[in-house]
Amino acid sequence: MEKLTWFYLDTCPYCSNAKKAYEELIAEHPGFGEVEVERINEAMHPELTEGYAYQYVPCVFLGDTKLYEAYPGEPFDSCKEGMEKALREAMQQK
């Protein structure tokens, strides 16, 4: 299974939503916990963002394919749907 790469910022409210959504999804679907996720704080490791095309965080990639990217004003439900889509896609790569 290919790992998910999740870019975030500590001060981002949308990133906080994504973390909460991720935790809820793991609780609702324990199998999602099998997905390897590399979380990268883009402020601390900007060099690790090279080669990835995105504008907003949180942003989740499977390999070089963007599966989810937040947008300004995004509600929690939309964030949770995006995170679930990313986790389901990663699970299909088994």
pLDDT value at residue 41: 98
Residue 1 pLDDT exceeds 90:
no
- pLDDT at residue 63 tops 80: yes
pTM for the full model? 0.94
Q: For residue 2, what pLDDT band results from cuts at 50, 70 and 90?
A: confident
Give the torsion through C-alpha atoms of 23, 24, 27, 33, to 10 deg: -40
Residue 60 confidence (pLDDT): 98
Strand order of the sheet with strand 37-41? 37-41, 4-8, 59-62, 65-69
At residue 21 the predicted structure's pLDDT band, cuts being 50, 70 and 90, is: very high
